[in-house]
Chain A
Amino acid sequence: GAGVSQSPSNKVTEKGKDVELRCDPISGHTALYWYRQRLGQGLEFLIYFQGNSAPDKSGLPSDRFSAERTGESVSTLTIQRTQQEDSAVYLCASRGPNSPLHFGNGTRLTVT
């Protein structure tokens, strides 16, 4: 596609439920990032995928958070047993060689 696509754009879930967020990067982009933005705060790095290398998971805030990516295509971010503090906008970005980051529009997650 023309840009990074994220779905859903909005998600409201009850505390304790699991959620899955999806990111379709730009075709050919080998690098993929997930960031989180809480209200009034900067973007918080979560995880980074680069080709077939082991992902950098150093930003995942707890073991309730996990992410997968199949090859150089779609990535899913899963949050298990959601908590209210997980409410945020989750941003995905991809990057090709010698190109800047391209961000999706994000998924706004609200945990009630």
Chain B
Amino acid sequence: GNSVTQMEGPVTLSEEAFLTINCTYTATGYPSLFWYVQYPGEGLQLLLKATKADDKGSNKGFEATYRKETTSFHLEKGSVQVSDSAVYFCALSGSSNDYKLSFGAGTTVTVRA
């Protein structure tokens, strides 16, 4: 079945540091890939997505590229801010059951001033 494995946290870094959160997936067919973010006290919200190989999703300075050859969708940001402190979830929806998203365990990121 479909599954997502993402880098374990927690991750703590300083403002303006470079952030990478690794995500790899297992799926049949051609899934769509997502990153969701949960800020403290808020619900999960979509951060970015990519629907086909080599697509790059981007939002709020974050980027992730759909790499079919390595089955990866790593999240990156070049210069983090304190306001980026949150829990980040990688997710996929399979091509045959595209309503049923499979999520990773989440990575807690704390950015210190």
Contacts and interface: CB of A to CB of B under 8 A. Distances in A.
Interface string B1-17: 00010000000000000
Interface residues of A, number: 24
A106 B91 CA distance: 18
Interface in B78-113: 89, 91, 99-106
Contact of B43 (A33, A40, A50, A106): A106
A40 B4 CA distance: 14
Given A42-B4, A42-B89, A104 B43 contact: yes
A91 B4 contact: no
Interface residues of B, number: 20
Given A91-B44, A103-B43, A106-B43, A42 B103 contact: yes
B interface SS class? strand
Contact of B44 (A45, A50, A56, A103): A103
A interface SS class? strand
B41 interface: yes
A84 B76 CA distance: 37
B49 interface: yes
Contact of B100 (A37, A48, A104): A48
A11 interface: no
Contacts of B4: 42
Given A42-B4, A43-B91, A93-B44, 9 more contacts: A35-B103, A42-B104, A43-B101, A45-B101, A45-B102, A91-B43, A91-B44, A104-B43, A105-B43
Interface of A: 3-4, 31, 33, 35, 37, 40-43, 45, 48, 50, 56, 59, 91, 93, 100-106
The 7 closest A-B pairs by CB, nearest first: A43-B103, A103-B43, A103-B44, A100-B46, A42-B105, A42-B103, A105-B43
